[in-house]
Amino acid sequence: MKVINEVMPTDPKQIERMMEPGPEGPIFMINLLKFKDKADYEDGRPTDLSGRDAYMIYGREVSEILPKYGGRAVFIADVTSLALGQVEELWDEVAIAMYPNRKALFDMSSSDEWRKAAVHRTAGLKGQLNIETVAAAGSPIANLLNQN
């Protein structure tokens, strides 16, 4: 399995797929994050922030934007070790955000408000994987979601 961390999408097929309606019900976006040692802003501003610190600024701002699009942060945790499998390098953090649908995610990440916050994301991230997921049919979380 080849893994390539990216900060922005580069595959046109991925970009096209994100504009499609997507699966029914809420999506849970799993973010595997790798931070730069030192934040590096594209506008050249001087900073003493670490990549993690810059990304945390982005995270705080996005946590306020998410509810405007029906989403919310679900889980954020530091990666501490790899229990099974092998990778050359571990990610630093895992974050899961819930969106009511793919369109809400696309609309949020196309907004001026998100773009303004994203300068900290770009400054702090060395790369990441975004994995769109939905609750498996019959799973406890799917059953819980269907009750609401």
pLDDT tens for residues 62-121?
A: 999 999 999 999 999 999 999 999 888 899 999 999 999 999 998 999 999 999 999 999
What is the average per-residue pLDDT within 38-45?
96
Please report, for residues 41, 96, 105, the alpha-carbon distance to residue 109 in angstroms, rounded to integers and kept in the order given. 19, 15, 6
> Confidence class of residue 137 from pLDDT cuts 50, 70 and 90?
confident
| pTM summary value | 0.84
Q: What is the DSSP letter of 6?
A: B
Ordered by where they begin, the domains of the chain are: 12-147 (3.30.70.100)
